[in-house]
Amino acid sequence: MKLIRFKKAHEKIAMGFLSYIPSEKMLRKLQETIQLYLCDEDWQLFLYKESEDYIGLIGVEVHEHDKTYTIQHISVNPSFRSEGIGYDMVKELALIYPGYQCQSTDFTEQFIERCKRKEEGADI
């Protein structure tokens, strides 16, 4: 498993990855998003680590009542894009939340649909 649950010590790393997302570019918005992941138990942020390097981030809002999770944020270091890292993060989330249905936002919908098509019948 390469996904590591976000901790306060990872704050600057996470802010760096979030800043690649167009809606998260402003410092105030980045800080609000990080606070959401730090303070709200339903919002979980994970960093993707390969060897000694963090190369991606994925954030979800978990809905225990209906066994779903919504992928809110996904970001990959530009040097590692088009290598399947985003897809790998989505697949690992399915292992972390077995029995849960994966949902998307307007921002993540297109990517999640591509992931689902990539692996026909995938339970993500």
C-alpha atoms less than 13 angstroms from C-alpha of 26 in its C-beta half-sphere: 4
Task: Provide the token pair at 95.
Answer: 């292992």
Confidence tier at 124 by pLDDT (50, 70, 90): low
pLDDT digits (tens, 9 = 90+) for 15-66: 999 999 988 889 999 999 999 999 999 999 999 999 999 999 999 999 999 9
Domain ranges for the chain, please list them: 3-118
Q: Identify the DSSP state of 28.
A: H
Looking at 3.40.50.970, 3.40.630.30, 2.40.170.20, 3.40.1440.10, the CATH number of the domain 3-118 comes to 3.40.630.30
Asked if 13 and 104 touch (Cβ cutoff 8 Å), the reply is: no
- Residue pair 55/80 in contact (Cβ under 8 Å)? The answer is yes
- Kindly report the pTM of this predicted structure: 0.90
* Class of residue 25 by CB neighbours under 10 A (exposed 0-12, middle 13-18, buried 19+): exposed
